[in-house]
Amino acid sequence: MTLHHHPADDARPAEPRTLAEATDLVATPDLAPSADGMFGTYGGAVLPPQLAGPMREVAEAYAQARHDPEFYAEYARLLRDVVGHPPPLTPLERLSDELGGARIVLKREDLNHTGAHKINHTLGEALLARRMGKRAVVAETGAGQHGVALATAAALVGLDCEIHMGAIDVAKQHPNVVRMRLLGAKVVSVEKEDRSLKEAVDSAFEVYAAHPERYLFAIGSVVGPHPFPTMVRDFQAVVGREARAQFQARYGALPDAVVACVGGGSNAMGAFTAFLDDADVRLIGVEPGGRSDATGEHAMTMTRGMDGVIHGMATLALQDGEGVPDPVHSIASGLDYPGVGPQHARFAQLGRVEYVAEDDAAVLDAFQRLARLEGILPALESAHAVARAIRLAPQLGADRRILVNLSGRGDKDVDFVARTLGLTGEADEVVR
């Protein structure tokens, strides 16, 4: 028994043997999904007939896999041996000293193999595909982060991988295209209509619908039709589970607040799930406020969205009266999504999670402070969560602690940030 005992611990097995045991840890009514993937009125599977059957097959296979000890053992082994779990907690001493107030502590998902949290769920998806007897995984990617994480997992597990990208993104994301190809993935450039992410989604779905016996469609966040919001949550829940145990071991207490950025919502859901029953822990999701609150200048789905249907799920979405998604912007390409995971929509409705926004300027400031005071270059996505912690810390007492999920590292963003700040690649001083 720990000094600070929490009621939520009673229901939890110390050493889970299956994914179900590891993730069915939410005892509070309403905070867990139903067996058919409903989160209150959100979620579900809103699909054309040719996709309904294949998606049901995935749901049935996953429902079994999450109770299989061998499936869990393999997933846990790969997380440990390849991804490097558990990454440490890092207390931010210099930044916290400068701010005054609460201490900020990072969960370092940026130290994972491939540099972000996405590998946690792409590995799980690849393992499920192999278990289902599929030969390949297929997906779309915008900036390329999901594509690289999925190509990595496919190589590791021994599957073919096919990534669809809008032709404009293929041109823009050259390094990630090269990475995917080096990892053995086939990259498909979609030259239709706007040549953007939307066309890539349709193109990948077309391939999947034509050959569901060959492929698993691997979704990149807690979004899309059932079972993906639940399944991706389960694969990401390791983040909060580890952080909660690390926090208790180190401080003998839980954090006062857990902060994570929200695009589709997978890293936030991963960080929050273990804390849902801890009513005294504030959970805060941070959306991209972008340049302004005008349509097309932000991606504040939680704070500005309306009930709608997008990408096979009922959720909050930024769209017009006809259901056409609005254009969105964020300084972080991983956050510019006009929908959001249905469980987040439910948490907002129930008031369990606070959803707030940080704009591009605050994010750039957070990026620089973390770099100069702590020696960490964060992903611009993750810098949204850091920006909120910087705002929150001075409002809380010095005996308080804020846990920030640092979802990824910023190597991918350094050229963009340097250009934005007017910092050139030239030396500061020349000696001859």
Ligand X SMILES: *Cc1c(COP(=O)(O)O)cnc(C)c1O
Q: How many residues bind ligand X (CB under 6 A)?
A: 18
Q: Is 116 in the site for ligand X (CB under 6 A)?
A: yes
Q: Is 366 in the site for ligand X (CB under 6 A)?
A: no
- Which of 145, 173, 248, 330 lies at the binding interface for ligand X (CB under 6 A)? 145
Catalytic residues: 118, 140, 407
Please list every residue from 340 through 359 that binds ligand X, using CB under 6 A: none
Cα–Cα separations (whole angstroms), residue 205 to 21, 47, 54, 208, 261: 32, 11, 11, 5, 27
Q: Is 118 in the site for ligand X (CB under 6 A)?
A: yes
Q: Is 289 in the site for ligand X (CB under 6 A)?
A: no
- Which of 112, 120, 267, 273 lies at the binding interface for ligand X (CB under 6 A)? 267
Which residues neighbour 313 within 8 Å (Cβ) at sequence distance 6 or greater?
42, 43, 44, 45, 46, 223, 224, 225, 226, 229, 339, 342
Measured from the Cβ of residue 413, the count of other Cβ atoms closer than 10 Å reads 23
- The contact pattern for ligand X, residues 220-239, with x = CB under 6 A and - = no contact, is -x------------------
Stretch of residues binding ligand X (CB under 6 A), selected from 26-34, 83-91, 257-265, 349-357: 257-265
Stretch of residues binding ligand X (CB under 6 A), selected from 36-44, 209-217, 344-352, 377-385: 377-385
Residue with smallest beta-carbon separation from ligand X: 408
In the complex, what is the shortest distance from the CB of residue 169 to ligand X, in angstroms, rounded to a whole number? 14
Which residues neighbour 428 within 8 Å (Cβ) at sequence distance 6 or greater?
none
Identify which of residues 263 and 342 has a Cβ nearer to ligand X in the complex: 263
Q: Is 379 in the site for ligand X (CB under 6 A)?
A: yes
Angle at 145 between CA 142 and CA 149, to 5 degrees: 130
CA distance 205 to 162: 12
Q: Which amino acid is at 193?
A: E
Q: Are strands 186-190 and 313-317 parallel, antiparallel or unpaired?
A: unpaired
CA distance 32 to 25: 9
- Which of 124, 147, 224, 265 lies at the binding interface for ligand X (CB under 6 A)? 265
CA distance 178 to 269: 30
Stretch of residues binding ligand X (CB under 6 A), selected from 3-11, 259-267, 313-321, 390-398: 259-267
Q: Is 262 in the site for ligand X (CB under 6 A)?
A: yes
Which residues neighbour 156 within 8 Å (Cβ) at sequence distance 6 or greater?
78, 82, 123, 126
In the complex, what is the shortest distance from the CB of residue 381 to ligand X, in angstroms, rounded to a whole number? 3
Stretch of residues binding ligand X (CB under 6 A), selected from 170-178, 190-198, 374-382, 423-431: 374-382
Token output for 372: 């100069």
In the complex, what is the shortest distance from the CB of residue 225 to ligand X, in angstroms, rounded to a whole number? 16
Q: Are strands 215-217 and 160-166 parallel, antiparallel or unpaired?
A: unpaired
In the complex, what is the shortest distance from the CB of residue 167 to ligand X, in angstroms, rounded to a whole number? 21
In the complex, what is the shortest distance from the CB of residue 145 to ligand X, in angstroms, rounded to a whole number? 4
What is the chain's length? 432
Q: Is 407 in the site for ligand X (CB under 6 A)?
A: yes
Angle at 86 between CA 226 and CA 19, to 5 degrees: 35
- Can you give the binding site for ligand X, defined by CB under 6 A? 116, 118, 145, 221, 261-267, 334-335, 379, 381-382, 407-408
